[in-house]
Structure 1
Amino acid sequence: MKAAVFREHDKDPEKVVKIEDIEVPKLKPDEVLIKVEATSYNYNDLWAIWGRPIKVPMPHVSGTDISGTVVELGEQVTSLEKGDRVVSHGNLSCRICSMCTSGREYDCEKRLVWGFQTGPLWGGYCQYAHLPEVNVAKISDNISFEDAAAVSMVGMTSWHMLVDRARMKPGQTVLIMGGTSGVGMVGIQIAKLYDCTVIASAGNQQKMDKCLELGADFVVNHRQEDWYKKVRDMTQKKGVDIVFEHIGKTVFPQEVSLLKMGGTLVSTGATTGYDSTIDLRYLFFRGINIVGATQGTKAELEEVLFWTSKKKIKPLINAVLPFSEMVKGHLMMARGDQIGKTITTPQKL
């Protein structure tokens, strides 16, 4: 089968990522084999290629979010059948520790992100992929393979951030940073499901317009120096209940200053840098909450898939690339010029 493989780290994906022939994987008893129809790009693909912040197993196949059809079953698999349309749940956890059995599989000490930390040659940029039965979710016939791959991890992460970690309630004011990113596009739509007032941010006018199309009530350009003052004006100086954060260093102090008394900032990334600052007076005088989030549970993934099937969540897809041109997706992501998710189709060379 064809797979996108790299055997060394480099800043330039074009230099190291190549389409190669590798063997179709042999299944363990609890695994299924999936014919991959669509794979969605994530920023951890770039981290893997760059070899930072961690080294990854070599040779490496990236790709965490796949959708496709089950074509083979391990002998212990009972909940799936050949022909089922499925999507991956990329959070590989032990399922037996106290974190997992209390519903916090994302906090499992043995957790691995499939397609990022796994290998050698075990990820989703390939024509056939294998996963444990427990890491596969069914998708309804009215969800396309492209939409399923685009919404799976970012949707699950966004649901986990807003519903579980930030405890979002109807009627609140929610600031969604980076509203046309993968997590941002779903974050806007989840907040509107809860009938919240949504202020979204984006880096240019085209992206700002897309945020409004997705349902945001207000939008601001976070690249402008006074962006946070505009947000404050939009709330009549009251501030926001929740900040949905993944940009990091360049905006973090201003985000904290926008929180109401008892408000919550929930963070799942820091693409502009990790070493930020905070005015501690906001922390104790306002009683704010700063919480982290990463990925989510399979149940949260299935919640997002339900609302996607009802057309209440619609993934924003930037481009669908044939597998022979899949490195273009890495380059677009590195430049930051994509709007929504980029997809590659391993069966279409």
Structure 2
Amino acid sequence: MKAAWITAHGGNEVVMVGEHAQPIRERGEVLVRLRAATLNRVDLYMRDSGAGITHRLPQILGLDGAGTVETVDNDETRLTPGQQVVVHPGITCGRCEFCLRGERVLCSHMSLLGEHRDGTFAQYVSVPARNVFPMPAGLSFAEAAALGVNHLTAWRMLFSKARLKAWETVLVFGIGGGVSLAALQLAKRVGARVLVTSRDRQKLMRASKLGADHTIDGSTQDIAKAVMAATDGRGVDVVIENVGAAVWSSAMKSLVRGGRLVTCGATTGDQPPADLRRIFIRQLQIFGSTHGELGEFQDLCGFVEQTGLKPVIDREYPLDQVHDALDRLESGAQFGKVVLRID
């Protein structure tokens, strides 16, 4: 099969494209013929160093993907050959204390596609049947592939952690990135008011067209003051944040008393000032969140089909042009998901 993999760590020179051994399907697994995969920041991280992530080389990159079922066990009742499907990239042990109490997302032995095992930048991937879900109707393979990381992460942040209500107001940092755009789309679909920030005017204009109720230019405006002005001095109920140290103070100051902040990233640093006095006096709640449960993914897929939500796609590249796709993601210029077409 054709695939894209890393042979070492560095720049694009370590990313190879060519023929690779096809995965062997084990009992209980589904062999999926992939048609699209999307890029995530971790693909750049794995290429650059992969530090702190147990992995082996060579390693096929890619966390999320969508395609068709190639082969399954004869007694599989939910999935059939030829069916269009989307993949959940987290393979759990099923035996640790977290799996046993129904919190697989906390599995102490989780292996992620593209990180701990071969991923989706390939024509085929084999994963446990529980990790394969029918593709929501109305989506292209590229749009469906985008659900497995960014939209699932945003779904858990908004609804499982922050427990967002339709009448509440949300502040989303860094609009244009995958998780941030997903949070905007999902929050608007349930009726919430959404404020977004970016240092890029074009991204703010595009976010407005997607339904953002208010935009804040982080390059020219004091974010917390702008939030207070937009909310009549009240603040927002929920902050969705994946930037880290550079915006942490603004995020904290933007919350109403008793507000909730959910973070899933730290691209500008992971050691912001704690601001403990503000936390306990205003009784703020801070949640960390990463990825999502199988059940949450099932709920997300159903929600997407029922509401007609379509993930935002920035650009599509053939698998042979994976270097260009990685460069596009690394530039930070993207608005939505960068996609690999796997033909």
Is 1:185–2:181 an aligned residue pair?
yes
Between stretches 241-250 and 104-113, larger displacement belongs to: 104-113
SS in 2 for 1:250: helix
Task: Note the C-alpha offset of 1:193.
Answer: 2.3
Task: Note the C-alpha offset of 1:44.
Answer: 0.6
Contact 1:63–1:125 (8 Å) recurs in 2: yes
Match runs of 1:222-233 below 5 Å: 222-224=218-220, 226-233=222-229
Match of 2:6 in 1: 6
Task: Note the C-alpha offset of 1:252.
Answer: 0.8
Point out 4+ residue stretches in structure 1 off by more than 6 angstroms. Answer: none
Task: Note the C-alpha offset of 1:280.
Answer: 1.2
Contact 1:143–1:308 (8 Å) recurs in 2: no
> Deviations for 1:3-36, whole angstroms, at most 9, x for unmatched residues?
10111000x2x21111021121111101111111
Among candidates 293, 297, 306, match of residue 301 of structure 1: 297
Task: Note the C-alpha offset of 1:43.
Answer: 0.5
> Deviations for 1:204-257, whole angstroms, at most 9, x for unmatched residues?
111001211221100112233522211121111111110001011110111011
Contact 1:232–1:238 (8 Å) recurs in 2: yes
Task: Note the C-alpha offset of 1:71.
Answer: 0.8
Match of 1:69 in 2: 68
Among candidates 335, 346, 349, match of residue 342 of structure 2: 346
- Which one-letter code corresponds to 1:68 in the other structure? G
- Which one-letter code corresponds to 1:182 in the other structure? G
CA–CA distance in structure 1, aligned partners of residues 219 and 337 of structure 2: 21
Match of 2:192 in 1: 196
Contact 1:179–1:187 (8 Å) recurs in 2: no
- Which one-letter code corresponds to 1:9 in the other structure? H
- Which one-letter code corresponds to 1:246 in the other structure? N
Is 1:79–2:78 an aligned residue pair?
yes
Contact 2:93–2:110 (8 Å) recurs in 1: yes
CA–CA distance in structure 1, aligned partners of residues 219 and 77 of structure 2: 51
Is 1:175–2:174 an aligned residue pair?
no
CA–CA distance in structure 1, aligned partners of residues 134 and 161 of structure 2: 25
SS in 1 for 2:246: coil
- Which one-letter code corresponds to 1:4 in the other structure? A
- Which one-letter code corresponds to 2:180 in the other structure? G
SS in 2 for 1:94: coil
Match runs of 1:43-122 below 5 Å: 43-55=41-53, 56-74=55-73, 77-118=76-117, 122=118
Match of 1:243 in 2: 239
SS in 1 for 2:195: strand
SS in 2 for 1:20: strand
Contact 1:28–1:74 (8 Å) recurs in 2: no
- Which one-letter code corresponds to 2:2 in the other structure? K
SS in 1 for 2:59: coil
- Which one-letter code corresponds to 1:186 in the other structure? A
> Deviations for 1:248-269, whole angstroms, at most 9, x for unmatched residues?
1110111011111111100011
Contact 1:6–1:60 (8 Å) recurs in 2: yes
CA–CA distance in structure 1, aligned partners of residues 52 and 145 of structure 2: 25
For structure 2, the residue ranges without an aligned partner over 5 or more in a row are none
Distance of aligned partners of 1:333 and 1:70 in 2 relative to their CA distance in 1, 3 Å threshold: same
SS in 1 for 2:138: coil
For structure 1, the residue ranges without an aligned partner over 5 or more in a row are none
SS in 2 for 1:130: strand
Between stretches 68-77 and 54-63, larger displacement belongs to: 68-77
Contact 2:139–2:310 (8 Å) recurs in 1: no
Among candidates 248, 251, 255, match of residue 259 of structure 1: 255
Task: Note the C-alpha offset of 1:311.
Answer: 4.4
Task: Note the C-alpha offset of 1:101.
Answer: 3.7
Among candidates 285, 291, 308, match of residue 289 of structure 1: 285
Contact 1:193–1:312 (8 Å) recurs in 2: no
Match of 1:25 in 2: 23
CA–CA distance in structure 2, aligned partners of residues 113 and 48 of structure 1: 12
- Which one-letter code corresponds to 1:154 in the other structure? N
Contact 2:7–2:16 (8 Å) recurs in 1: no
SS in 2 for 1:57: coil
Distance of aligned partners of 1:103 and 1:211 in 2 relative to their CA distance in 1, 3 Å threshold: farther
Between stretches 304-313 and 274-283, larger displacement belongs to: 304-313
Between stretches 93-102 and 270-279, larger displacement belongs to: 93-102
Contact 2:92–2:99 (8 Å) recurs in 1: yes
Among candidates 312, 331, 334, match of residue 330 of structure 2: 334
TM-score by length of 2: 0.95
CA–CA distance in structure 2, aligned partners of residues 299 and 33 of structure 1: 21
Match of 1:219 in 2: 215
Task: Note the C-alpha offset of 1:75.
Answer: 5.2
- Which one-letter code corresponds to 1:152 in the other structure? G
Task: Note the C-alpha offset of 1:79.
Answer: 2.3
CA–CA distance in structure 2, aligned partners of residues 202 and 307 of structure 1: 27
